[in-house]
Structure 1
Amino acid sequence: MPLHVTQSLGEVSASDWDALLPIDQPFLRHAFLSALEDSGSLSKQSGWRPEHLLHIEDGRLIAAMPAYRKWHSYGEYIFDHGWADACRRAGIDYYPKLLCAVPFSPVSGPRLLGDGLALLQAVPGYVEVEALSSAHINFTDPALDALVAQEPGWLERLGCQYHWHNRGYRDFQDFLDSLSSRKRKQMRKEREQVAAQGFEFEWREGRSLAETEWDFVYACYANTYAVRRQAPYLTRAFFSLLAERMPEAIRVVFARQAGRPVAMAFSLVGGDSFYGRYWGCLAEFDRLHFETCFYQGMDYAIAQGYQRFDAGAQGEHKLIRGFEPVITRSWHYLSHPGLKDAVADFLQEERAGVRAYAEQARAALPYRQTAE
């Protein structure tokens, strides 16, 4: 199979790329990925060089993998810093590596677009020819899991996230009625505490936001990094480009106090799913994070009929608010035999630990077990 590589998604027709997408998920669309590139959020200077793998025959795009050459492991949410450190101590070059993923987005979904088995099988050879240490495919879907599991050399890694499921709730009170009395009272109290501070919330779609409002969104987003003395992954231009290219998928909720915006949560929608992505505030307020990021999102998902609310990676505090543990998967191809053997042993133990944790985490869910 002739393997084609492009360092700019602008060289690929948006209609040809999007025609390969098996599901309606905004993160895989040409508009989202190209906005990351064109906004300067991805570049060799930031440690992310686009290196998309394509299968083209007779001028027609048959399959594609969104991929990037990486000189670090930040922004991936599958943490391999320990592997890189072990390589450094052993005198092995771990970077650069090849990553197939959606940058800065720990959202599971297809990573092999179109009829891509031959493309997947070409990855190990590409890693060898390019003298890369490894290839990684993060947050995969079941279809790709089944394919990769049959290919030699790939190691499976498990993770755990927390997703909320809309089980046909009529409204937020209907959801509360499914909880134990103690948890129901706790959530109601949290919402009352926010309301008592005079907050009001307004939902907006991407096409309705002015540039001054995007300035506020970005200021809030960047502040979540500034308080940790970190630089934000995304540039201001990304939000304007995304609003221009796929406004129908964008949802922003503004939190206002005395009519003045003080916080926001940025989300995307696609298919039957609601994806909470970025949050930020300009000052600290008691319980505002939980209301803006979780309860407002649940309210919106119920009202709009979305069946799943994916609020991002990490956060055990989501469990007591009804977000259920979900196993995620990634796959790793490591060229160095010694590193591969060591990581394989580690992953075997880690997989058992992740599965055990997910089972234990269910005990923290707030749902009623018996009639009260």
Structure 2
Amino acid sequence: MNYRTGIVSSLAEVGEFAWNGLLAAQQGAKDEANPFLSYAFLHALHESGSACADTGWQPQFLVLWQDDTLAAAMPLYVKSHSYGEYVFDWAWAEAYERHGLEYYPKLLSAIPFTPVSGGRLLARDDAARAALVELLCAQQQQAGMSSTHVLYPPEAQAKQLERAGFMLRSGVQFHWLNAGYADFEQFLATLEHKKRKNIRAERRKVREAGVTMRQVRGVDASEADWRFFHRCYANTYAEHRSSPYLNLDFFLRIGASMPQNILLIVAERDGQAIASSLLIHTADTLYGRYWGALEHVPCLHFETAYYQPLEFCIAQKIATFEGGAQGEHKMARGFLPQKTWSAHWLAHPAFADAIERFLERESGGIEAYIDELNERNPFRS
């Protein structure tokens, strides 16, 4: 089948109707509902200057057109560093540098600053997806870069990339699954006694500190709410002596363009807001994103980033809460380990062989780690 192929540096070249139409046409996937793949989210990242050439995220999206229909596309960036990815390849870059080789720039398919699984090979059918993989392989050969990395694809797409010559890497996240709980207490009742007791104690500390919580749906969030959230978000980075990836313009943009997917949680004491968290959601999945506070209150992070979102999931009958990257401590709060995937191609044969051996060893360790975690299941037997 003949496709017209291209590389675009802005989603405006594709258009919102064509991009979201492609997402809606995904076969047997939930990508049409994945808010991080939406035109609104990605365009806000680029137009706000949060993910652009100046910040080391140069958009270079692959697109395949069939007449006037977008048949396939891939979010792809030229990266000049490895920040904001959450699948760490710093050691690979250092190895290249020690041998006098350039690791950057590299090609990366991911949602910037967002460790959430979702389609990377977006296509209307199998033929278009196969053609997209061929285009990716041709592009990485022609670009002359060190490597290509596809982060957090679904397993089926990871396997397709493996057949095209990529090496697979697995990781672990922690997700909470809703068993149809009537309320938070019914969920607590399913946990081991010690876990249940600790959660009640953490929530009690927040109440005794005089803190109240407010859940703000995106459609009701004011500019003042967004400005306050950004202050909290930026303060968290400042306390860790680093710079935030996302700016206020980005948050205002998604607040205006995708409010139906947004939940803000605000903590207040004595009538003053002191902390906030941002979550993105669909009808069946809640994604924990960012949190920050202007003052320290013991256990406030757990209340704002976990317990309030869990109450929201239960009330809205949302099936899954993805709490974000890493965080073994989430297990004590009812989250269970889930495997994630990434796919990697390296141009240098010797380094590709070395990394393939490393990934084989790492894979065995990941499997053992997941088995160990499952043995420490927080729920009552």
Q: TM-score, normalised by structure 2?
A: 0.95
Alpha-carbon distance in 2 for matches of 1:271, 1:339: 44
Give the whole-Å Cα distance in 2 for the aligned partners of 1:238 and 1:289: 23
How much has 1:60 moved relative to structure 2?
2.2
| Equivalent residue, structure 1, for 2:330 | 318
Give the Cα separation in 1 of the matches to 2:135 and 2:247.
33
State the distance in 1 between where 2:173 and 2:184 align.
Answer: 22
- Offset, 1:144: 0.9
CA spacing shift, 1:319–1:348, aligned 2, 3 Å: same
Superposition map of 1:201-280 within 5 A: 201-280=213-292
Q: How many angstroms apart in 1 are the aligned matches of 2:265 and 2:81?
A: 33
What is the rounded CA distance, in whole Å, between the counterparts of 2:214 and 2:156 in structure 1?
38
Aligned partner of residue 254 in structure 2, secondary structure: helix
Aligned with 1:303 (options 302, 310, 315): 315
Paired residues, what number? 368
Q: Name the residue aligned to 2:139.
A: 126
1:149 paired residue number: 162
Query: Which residue of the partner structure matches residue 327 of structure 1?
Result: 339
Question: Which amino acid in the other structure matches residue 121 of structure 1?
Answer: E
Q: Which residue of 1 aligns with 2:17?
A: 15
Distance (Å, rounded) in 2 between the aligned partners of 1:227 and 1:310: 25
**Aligned 8 A contact 1:321 1:365 in 2:** no
Contact 1:201 1:256 in 2 (8 A): yes
In the alignment, does 2:146 pair up with 1:138?
Answer: no
Match of 2:49 in 1: 40
The counterpart of 1:50, out of the listed 59, 78, 100, is 59
1:57 partner letter: Q
* SS of the residue 1:161 aligns to: strand
How far, CA to CA, are the matches of 2:155 and 2:88 in structure 1? 21
Structure 2: where are the runs of 5+ without partners? none
- For residues 92-136 of structure 1, give each alpha carbon's deviation from its aligned partner in whole angstroms, at most 9, with x where no partner exists: 111111101100000011111113221112212211211111111
Report what 2:92 is aligned to.
83
- SS state of the match for residue 139, structure 2? helix
Q: Percent identity?
A: 42
1:278 aligned counterpart, secondary structure: strand
Aligned residue number for residue 288 of structure 1: 300
Deviates more, 1:203-212 or 1:22-31: 203-212
Give SS of 1:34's match: helix
RMSD between aligned residues: 1.1
Q: After the TM superposition, which of the residue ranges 138-147 and 234-243 deviates more from structure 2?
A: 138-147
Q: CA deviation at 1:2?
A: 4.2
Give the Cα separation in 1 of the matches to 2:160 and 2:226.
41
CA-CA distance at 1:148 after TM superposition: 1.7
Q: Deviations along 1:234-275, whole A, 9 cap, x unmatched? A: 011001111111111011010111121100110011241001
Mapped to 2, the partners of 1:218 and 1:190 lie a distance apart of 25
- Aligned mates of 1:363, 1:190 — CA distance in 2: 25
Q: Is the 8 A contact 1:320 1:364 kept in 2?
A: no
Q: Following the alignment from structure 1 to structure 2, what is the Cα–Cα distance between the partners of residues 319 and 18?
A: 35
1:51-90 Cα offsets, whole Å, 9 max, x none, are: 1010113232110001110000000000001000000111
Task: Tell me which amino acid in the other structure corresponds to 2:170.
Answer: L
TM-score normalized by structure 1? Answer: 0.97
CA distance in 2 between counterparts of 1:16 and 1:271 reads: 23
Q: Which residue of 1 aligns with 2:7?
A: 5
SS of the equivalent of 1:204 reads strand
Q: Which shifted more, 57-66 or 97-106?
A: 57-66
SS at match of 1:311: strand
2:81 to 69, 72, 86: 72
Q: Which letter maps to 2:75?
A: P
- Which of 31, 55, 72 lines up with 1:63 in the alignment? 72
* Structure 1 counterpart of 2:113: 104
Q: Is the 8 A contact 1:25 1:271 kept in 2?
A: no
- Cα deviation for residue 289 of structure 1 reads 0.4
Q: 1:31 aligns to what?
A: 40
Distance 2:222 2:183 in 1: 31
Give SS of 1:10's match. Answer: helix
Cα distance in structure 2, aligned partners of 1:112 and 1:145: 9
Q: Are the counterparts in 2 of residues 124 and 333 from structure 1 also a CA contact under 8 Å? A: no
Q: For residues 308 and 354 of structure 2, what CA distance do their matches in structure 1 show?
A: 44
Work out whether residues 39 and 235 of structure 1, in 8 Å CA contact, stay in contact via their aligned partners in 2: yes
- Paired residues of 1:123 and 1:135 also in contact (CA < 8 A): no
d(CA) in 2 for partners of 1:67 and 1:223?
30
